[in-house]
Amino acid sequence: MDGSVHIPMFPLAILPLPGELVPLHIFEPRYKQLLQDAELHDITFGIYFSHEMNQAKIGSLMRLESIIKRYPGGESDVIVKCQDIFSMSKLMQTYKSKMYPGADVQYRNVDVNRIPSLALYELFVEYLKNRNINQHVATFSVYQVACELSLDLGERYKFLQLPDEKVDNFLLNRIRYQLHLLSSEEKSKDVYHLN
């Protein structure tokens, strides 16, 4: 695979989106070692989306943001942040001389700060207002929009496979659906009366 790099790998059944912060509880010895390397050497690592739907063999490039809590037995609660998306060509049982896995991957080099279209921006602001979220940043990326919509694994997988020109339409449709649900919920409140 042209342009591939060899990186540490952490197979999990999650698919973080670019810019997303993810809490992890680290308890296996091999991943404790990975955490130690990430902390001491500021290395990035991959979370390979370990799921049968992942025919494209994609995953998320992560960086350690902070260690929230260390436990006496060596376990840790940490926050990691997604930096990019990758396609994996080969997964290996160990990374160099380490206990944790490694993989050959090719980065997608996504623009984490990609600005949404005006239509998507305006509909997303309406969605936030409908959810009573009035305090928010003035600008946000398409990935921040996707994170706020709480996409399930299948939707995340589909979203990350889309060509750039279809990303905004996908998110617009998801917001419209969420707004419909919120509207239906409000209408149902008017039907039922408390005793």
Q: For 98-119, what is each residue's pLDDT tens digit?
A: 999 999 999 999 999 999 999 9
Domain with CATH 2.30.130.40 in the chain: 5-107
* CATH class held by domain 5-107: mainly beta
Residue 150 — pLDDT band, cuts 50, 70, 90? Answer: confident
Interatomic CA distance for residues 140 and 130, integer angstroms: 18
Reported pTM:
0.89
Strand partners, 105: 5, 88
Q: Which residues pair with 7 in a beta bridge?
A: 103
| Mean pLDDT score, 142-154 | 94
